[in-house]
Chains A and B, each alone.
Chain A
Amino acid sequence: MSTLDLGAPEAAAPASPPPVPPPRGRRRRYAWWAAGLWLATGLYLVPSDQQAVVTRFGAVVEPRALPGLHLAWPWPIDRVYRLKVRQLQRLAAGGDPADPVLGRADASRSQFLTGDQNLIHVRAVVQYSVAAPAPYLFASEDVAAVIRSAVESELARCLSGRGVDAVLTTEKAAIQDEVRAGAQRLLNEYGAGVALASVNLESVLPPAEAAGAFREVASARADAARIVNEALGYASSVLPRARGEARQLLESAAAYKQRKINEAAGDAARFQQVAAEYAKAAEVTGERLYQEAMVEILPKIRKLIVDAQGSLDLTIIRRGEPAPAAAPPAP
């Protein structure tokens, strides 16, 4: 019944007689303190990297409390759930191919079927954050399982529509985008309150049983590139060489032309000089030129001198092979 009098003024406290051990006023003060402390449990602080959800008797009354100091009803009426909304969380979908030594991972867990019916191991890493705190907390039993399922189903769908070459080489980025968008759409349908930041294909590997053949393709591609590069090297060495040779041809032709012209000019000048002098004494000069030429020519050759009137025995020509150059003419 004492608590019912809480609202009464405290004026009577000092006047009460000393023999009553706990004075009424002190008890009241304790009660006030207790009530104040209880009310104070309704104060809550949301740190700057977090957001909070407040529920009253289990129902959400504040779906998104921003950082700062807030007041709610005291415990147990209100409850405050704080969440690091901006922090990215990771989880893996798919998996690595089975480790033959340890035999730990189940191979089929990470195995997917591609559009051209090849089997391939894919492991994706998903990064996500909280988009809506209240649904994130209350909408699904296991948010991670929901996300993993959504991502894996989108991954399976994307892979089943593409050939293995596309998956291994060119389409990786496209698959990542498509999986992220598709899984996000599913999660929105489920109302999971999750935002997918990225889906990364961490490893895309052919099965161990065909890995050698896949490596062979890679080395064939490298070989092809090498052959092409060699051919390009050939082309880039042949063409400058050919251009050089062409230049050489042109230069030597130009040299020939110039030489011919110069020689002709020289010869012509010489002839004109000679002709000018010849004109002055044609008879004598002609004779001199003839004699000079004969002196130059005749010593080098074999000579048979025959009498102008005598008949000629041609056999001497053949006989005279080792014989001295000049044979006496027949008388």
Chain B
Amino acid sequence: MMHDRPKLVRAALAAAALWLLWASLFTVRETEFAFLTQFGRPVRSVAEAGLHFKWPVQNVTYFDRRLRIYNPRPSEFLTRDKKNIVVENYVAWRIDDPEKFVQSVGDAGAAELRLHDIIWSGLSAALGSQELDALVSPDPAAVRARQILDRLTEDSDRSALRQYGIRVVDVRIKRLNLPEQNKQSVYARMRAERERIARQYRAEGEEQALAIRADADRQREEILSAAYREAERTRGEGDAEATRVYGQAYARNPRLYRFLRTLESYKRVLDDKTTAILSSDSELLKVLMRGQSGAQ
């Protein structure tokens, strides 16, 4: 066949063209940087995702540009007022400058070691210049952890960016704790504090209860005495009215009243313990002694 030779050449040319196209195109995903090297020499980095061109002789290395969380091991720090505190923090970081990163650091593990050094020394200096109250205080306004950490983030970002091409997005404290050897005394203090509070609760309860009882007793006295006052006034009214009625009635015949009243009194006053010495001359016995003539 006459066609065979040119067909082969054409196929080879097409394959070569395809390879050339393949070698000079590369894609960059949203999650990464592309870093181009030419015979090991850095050429440029590509931050924009999508399809890009390069010379076929250039190599592409990819770096994750996503935000990462690095959790350094909890470390103990000393505050200005000489108190130990265990701080567990996290660092949110990402690669910002792949060229610098690849030259000075290389991979994520090495980056975390470098970050640990920067942040440990920064935190140590920051906490060493603060009282413990700036981190832990019952008054929320006194806690300045956020300001301290914002400044620390800014400082470590600056130095990490300059040295390693790493952007420190945030440094935050995840946990504050006390050193193990201090905990027993803290527990003892907590127990003592709780006991004090328990006693206080009981005492306050009693205080309130006594006040309630006293108040009830006072009200009772008030009610009863007011009732007494009212009752006595009512009785007095009764007595006064009776007196008025008696007076009106008896004033018409005081002699008869005195006589009747006296007789009535005798009936009550004189009883079997009474001994009466009666003169034979008395009104009652005159008749006994003298008969009819005594009645005159």
Contacts and interface: CB of A to CB of B under 8 A. Distances in A.
Nearest to B83: A117
Contact of A59 (B28, B202, B227, B275): B28
Binding site secondary structure of chain A: helix
B142 to A, nearest CB: 8
A180 to B, nearest CB: 16
Interface string B240-282: 0111111011101100110110010011001110111111110
A304 B278 contact: yes
A308 B289 CA distance: 10
B136 A260 contact: no
A293 interface: yes
B230 to A, nearest CB: 6
Nearest to A257: B238
Interface string A254-293: 1011111101110111011011001100000010011101
- Counting contact residues on chain A (CB < 8 A from B), the size range is 35 or more
Interface stretch (B37-45, B114-122, B123-131, B217-225): B217-225
Contacts of A260: 235, 238-239, 241-242
B178 to A, nearest CB: 7
B291 interface: no
A267 B246 contact: yes
A132 to B, nearest CB: 13
A80 interface: no
Contacts of B228: 249
B113 interface: no
13 contacts: A57-B28, A59-B29, A156-B175, A190-B170, A191-B67, A224-B206, A249-B227, A253-B230, A253-B231, A253-B232, A275-B253, A286-B259, A294-B284
Interface in A114-152: 114-119, 134, 137-142, 145-146, 149-150, 152
B27 A161 contact: no
Given A189-B170, A293-B263, 15 more contacts: A59-B30, A59-B48, A113-B136, A141-B64, A141-B68, A210-B187, A227-B202, A238-B216, A256-B234, A257-B238, A261-B238, A300-B271, A302-B276, A304-B276, A308-B281
